[in-house]
């Protein structure tokens, strides 16, 4: 098992009480069969979400900051 940074796609239907949001990068652990990724809430290790890989995209780099004031 290895930890990788992934983003949640818009196709993911968040379950009631889930903590994952569309857009941000989350560290997740790919399952041994490669079909799901396990996410653990950083503040509470007992709070987890399991997401199928078809609802994820790899996101190794952070989003680039937007320039709000151009001259």
| pLDDT reported for residue 48 | 84
CA 61 – CA 56 distance, rounded (Å): 15
pLDDT confidence band for 71 (50 / 70 / 90): low
Query: Does the predicted TM-score (pTM) go above 0.85?
Result: no
Domain presence at residue 70: no
CA pair distance 9, 55, nearest whole angstrom: 5
Paired tokens of 70: 């151009």
Mean pLDDT of 57-64: 69
Q: Is residue 68 part of a domain?
A: no
Provide the pLDDT confidence category of residue 60 given band limits of 50, 70 and 90: low
CATH code where residue 10 lies: 2.30.30
Q: How many separate domains does the chain show? A: 1
Pairing type for strands 3-8 and 36-41 reads unpaired
Evaluate the CA torsion angle 18, 23, 24, 29 in order and state its sign.
positive
Give the domain extent around 32: 3-58
Helix, strand, coil tally for the chain in percent (to 5): 5, 40, 55
Is position 71 within any domain? no
Asked if residue 18 is part of any domain, the answer here is yes
Structural domain includes residue 38: yes
Q: What is the pLDDT of residues 5-46, one digit of tens each?
A: 888 888 888 777 777 887 788 888 988 888 988 888 878 878
């Amino acid at each position: 098992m290895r930890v990788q940074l992934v983003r949640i796609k818009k196709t993911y239907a968040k379950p009631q009480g889930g903590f994952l949001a569309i857009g941000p990068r989350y560290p997740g652990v790919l399952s041994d069969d490669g079909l799901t990724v396990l996410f653990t809430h950083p503040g509470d290790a007992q709070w987890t979400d399991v997401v199928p890989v078809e609802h994820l995209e790899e996101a190794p780099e952070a989003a680039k900051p937007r320039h709000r004031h151009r001259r």
